[in-house]
Amino acid sequence: MSGSGNVHLRQMARQDVAAGMELVQAAGWNQTEADWNRFLDANSEGCFVAEAESTVCGTAATIIYGHQLAWIGMVLVHPDMRGRGIGTRLLRSAVEYLESRGPLVIKLDATPQGRPVYQRLGFEPEYEIERWKLTATPSLHSAPGAIPLDDDKPDIEDVIALDAEAFGASRSALLHSVHRDAPEFTAAISAEGRLLGYTFGRHGLHADHLGPWVAEDQEIARRLLETFLDRSTGRCLIVDCVKAHPFAATLLGSAGFEFSRPLTRMVRRAVQSGRRSGLVCAILGPEFG
Ligand SMILES: CC(C)(COP(=O)(O)OP(=O)(O)OC[C@H]1O[C@@H](n2cnc3c(N)ncnc32)[C@H](O)[C@@H]1OP(=O)(O)O)[C@@H](O)C(=O)NCCC(=O)NCCS
């Protein structure tokens, strides 16, 4: 790919997913075609590609949760085309689209590379997230404490309702889709009819990805993590945990995970309220929040 002239932006379509996957691979990311389709299913009008000489060289996708919160993800520019303003143009299109949809709080999780681009467009850091990775044999794998949570039969709608409290907005369609693709990673613990924690997970391109991972206390979080380890197919595992969380990183460290890279949750407009933030050990993923 050469030259930055004649780069134009247009809406992303289903047939661009293959090109999107090439950008994912070039960046060493973990998303699959299913993740692109989750954005396109939510609102394809809010997903953009940059095209040069009929070749897709950049992407940005948006998803709106409820009436107040929107997310920007999949901001990717082909390595040969970086530093020419394409990322900034894609992001501006995503923001303009979301602003046309109403007074939304817009958030994203930035890599260190993306952070200055977002800062220039008015995004401010909210808090830090850390990607932890497990490539060695997990010490908790097949631990006898892992609970067969299917026996508990928590209602998925209850889990989705608690996620809305923990995350701060309802993302029902997205979680149903994640659950459909990897039901073995959906786990929940309840006691006396009250839901105490849950997880979802995805089979990514390179790794099984745990998230969201939400728990009322350390014991519930530990049992949920053990269950994920037990059910994962034993490839590389990743978790994007909230850095300030009191015990999430400790649990990951004891299970053999290692710190991989930092991310920054960033927000444009007033910080959204009403989130039970203390519950969240790990987010769903940087692209979805
Ligand atoms: C982050 C990313 C999307 C940025 O895309 P990009 O097209 O390179 O972004 P821009 O060109 O708009 O801005 C990047 C830099 O180029 C500079 N730039 C912008 N227009 C330029 C131009 N015409 N000529 C030279 N430099 C330019 C910007 O000032 C910026 O400088 P910085 O080094 O101070 O940050 C890209 O690096 C990428 O795909 N990285 C890997 C995936 C990733 O981390 N994505 C972000 C997820 S949050």
Domains of the chain: 7-103 (3.40.630.30), 130-282 (3.40.630.90)
Q: Mean per-residue pLDDT for 261-275? A: 79
CA of 110 to the centre of ligand 1 (A): 12
Model confidence at 93: pLDDT above 60? yes
Atom number in ligand 1 closest to CA 88:
12
pLDDT at 270 over 70: no
Digit-coded pLDDT (tens) for 41-81: 999 999 999 999 999 999 999 999 999 999 999 999 999 99
The verdict on the CB of residue 117 being under 6 Å from ligand 1 is yes
Residue 185 tokens read as 């990673």
**pLDDT band at residue 143 using 50, 70 and 90 as cut-offs:** very low
Ligand 1 in contact with 110 (CB < 6 A)?
Answer: yes
- The continuous run of DSSP H or E covering 85 comes out as none
Whether the CB of 7 sits within 6 Å of ligand 1: no
Pocket lining: 119 vs ligand 1, CB cutoff 6 Å: no
Distances (CA, A) of 180 to 65, 111, 115: 19, 28, 33
Q: Mean pLDDT in the chain?
A: 91
66 lines ligand 1 (CB under 6 A): no
pTM value is 0.90
- Is 207 within 8 Å of 235 (Cβ atoms)? yes
Q: Identify the DSSP state of 100.
A: H
Q: How far is CA 50 from the centre of its chain?
A: 22
Q: Is the CB of 25 under 6 A from ligand 1?
A: no
pLDDT at 276: 72
Question: What is the Å distance from ligand 1's center to 257 Cα?
Answer: 31
Output the CA 75–ligand 1 centroid distance in Å: 10
- In this structure, the dihedral spanned by the alpha carbons of residues 258, 124, 112 and 93, taken in order and rounded to 10 degrees, is 120
